[in-house]
Amino acid sequence: MKKAQLIIDKNFIVGEIDKRIYGSFLEHLGRAIYTGIYQPESPLSDKNGFRQDVLKLVRETAVPVIRYPGGNFVSGYNWEDGVGPKELRPCRAELAWGSTETNQFGLDEFIDWCKEANTEPMMAVNLGTRGADDARNIVEYCNHKSGTYWSDLRIKNGHKEPHNVKLWCLGNEMDGDWQIGHKTASEYGRAAHEAAKVMRWVSPDIELVACGSSSSGMDTFAQWEAEVLDHCYNDVNYLSLHTYYDNRDNDTQEFLCKSADMDSFISSVVSICDYVKAKKRSKKKIMLSFDEWNVWYHSSEKDKLCERWSQAPKLLEDEYNFEDALLVGSMLITLLRHADRVKIACLAQLVNVIAPIMTSDTGAWRQTIFFPYMHASVFGRGTALNTIIKAPVFESKKFGEVSLVDAVVVENDDENITVFAVNKDLDEDIEITCDLRQFEGFSVKEHIVLTNDDMKAINTEAAPNNVAPIHSAASKVEGGVLTATLGKHSWNVIRLGK
């Protein structure tokens, strides 16, 4: 059997894990909102129209923060359309996705839904068709107590207490020409600076995210980040990153290496932030918000058949297979290995649209990617340890030598640690060992494995457990050393404790 070694030391830490790296995203797109989380006519919904079966699965993920309302959608959105009496809300031609937006679900409903889901909102403002004026108004509506036009409107709309939204994105993917109101880096940097300034004057404690590149493949990548931060370094707390991967070439081994791209993308953005820091002689460190990441490509042909201007069309309904779950697992490990700088990350998205949770009129089910995401969110809290991996490698066409084992060890608290590991080898099991003598008296509590003989296996409403985690007995601690077998092509969560 192939062998690998994980080397850790209690004192060598990457950083405290900000739980918000297990965030997700809900956009007014396709069936994410309508018939996803909100379906008033359904017997599965409560009096607010919130799908209870969906909420149950959302709570299972323990998602700590959800970005809303877009995405590309936000760059043409008038948030005022979505508040107040529902019968007065306008239907709009929604240009980002070519759909009809009824506005029956909006800001106040989202805040109410977040409370039911035990999560926090991360709002985005429209810097595409709008700017500083709209941005300060929405912050006033959400966070000002009372006695002003927008705060009193919130109260009139049934929300006496402020929503106290802490986290705000300054627009979305403003570097891309597909974006409504696309800007050059300096146009956007200026707009972000001005919006940030007045948003903070309304609500000084908010945290702000500036748009980085839509992917590391953008022609403007790197220069965009540097120029944007030149304008708004002092105004923002985070810079965003987005990335989506595909297996269009149907080369699974190569596909599984794509987390290496995410890893170098993060390192590059950290360097750019720190370059601007040095240039400005600043003491402040910009943190990263990886607020869109996932696999996305399965739905692209079907999307072309969607009727324009329909309401809640079946857009971006990727059916995720088992190999996608493995890459998602590796991407989660990558985020954890950068826990010192990545403080927010959002799996894009949450329901129906490139999502871990799917719905029909009769129920909701977990896609394959649900499992690594849920496991990391539930068991990946605490401190990320600097995990050195000595493992056999794969020679990737694009990324050179890539380790066949991705892994990270998380110290949850004084009595618990969790090892997350992916074996990317498609043919062979790999035995890992890890010296745990510093964790005296620890033994294996549970070894969870996600694997499948068929890399293309999916879950459906009729077969919701086709790909599901199992418990393994393939790990033990003896003489202070953990030995575990990572089955070929598998996602592993090894929970240890006293």
Residue whose C-alpha is closest to residue 186's, from 228, 229, 236: 228
Q: How far is the CB of 396 from ligand AHR (least distance, A)?
A: 25
Residue with tokens 């070694």: 5
Burial 298-334 (b: 16+ CB within 10 A, else e): bbeeeeeebeeeeebbbbbbbebbbbbbbbbbbbbbb
- Choose between 292 and 425: whose C-beta lies nearer to ligand AHR: 292
Q: Is residue 292 near ligand AHR by the rule CB under 6 A?
A: yes
Which distant-in-sequence residues (6+ apart) come within 8 Å of 250 by Cβ?
none
What's CA 473's distance to the chain center, in Å? 31
- Give the x/- contact pattern for ligand AHR in 153-172, rule: CB under 6 A: -------------------x
Among 30, 64, 69, 71, binds ligand AHR (CB under 6 A): 71
Question: In the numeric block, which tokens belong to residue 406?
Answer: 């991705």
- Residues paired with 416 in a beta bridge: 413, 497
Residue nearest to ligand AHR (CB): 71
Q: Is residue 289 near ligand AHR by the rule CB under 6 A?
A: no
What's CA 439's distance to the chain center, in Å? 31
Q: How far is the CB of 35 from ligand AHR (least distance, A)?
A: 18
E strand or H helix that includes residue 452: none
292 is a catalytic site residue? yes
- Give the x/- contact pattern for ligand AHR in 14-53, rule: CB under 6 A: -------------x--------------------------
Q: Is residue 216 near ligand AHR by the rule CB under 6 A?
A: no
Q: Which of 80, 140, 225, 292 is catalytic?
A: 292
Q: Is residue 94 near ligand AHR by the rule CB under 6 A?
A: no
Q: What is the DSSP string of 28-46?
A: SSTTSTBTTTB-TTSTTB-
- Choose between 39 and 299: whose C-beta lies nearer to ligand AHR: 299
Which distant-in-sequence residues (6+ apart) come within 8 Å of 151 by Cβ?
140, 141, 144, 145, 162
Q: How far is the CB of 107 from ligand AHR (least distance, A)?
A: 18
Q: Is residue 70 near ligand AHR by the rule CB under 6 A?
A: yes
Q: Which of 94, 173, 194, 317 is catalytic?
A: 173
Q: How far is the CB of 354 from ligand AHR (least distance, A)?
A: 6
Span from 51-59, 68-76, 232-240, 277-285 in contact with ligand AHR (CB under 6 A) = 68-76
Contact 157, 111 (CB under 8 A): no
Alpha helices in 118-205 (DSSP H): 132-143, 149-156, 185-202
Among 39, 61, 216, 349, binds ligand AHR (CB under 6 A): 349
| Torsion angles phi and psi, residue 167, rounded to 5 | -115, 125
173 is a catalytic site residue? yes
- Give the x/- contact pattern for ligand AHR in 169-208, rule: CB under 6 A: ---xx-----------------------------------
- Give the x/- contact pattern for ligand AHR in 409-438, rule: CB under 6 A: ------------------------------
Residue whose C-alpha is closest to residue 408's, from 435, 424, 386: 386
Annotated active-site positions, please? Answer: 173, 292
Residues near ligand AHR (CB under 6 A) are: 27, 70-72, 172-173, 292, 348-349
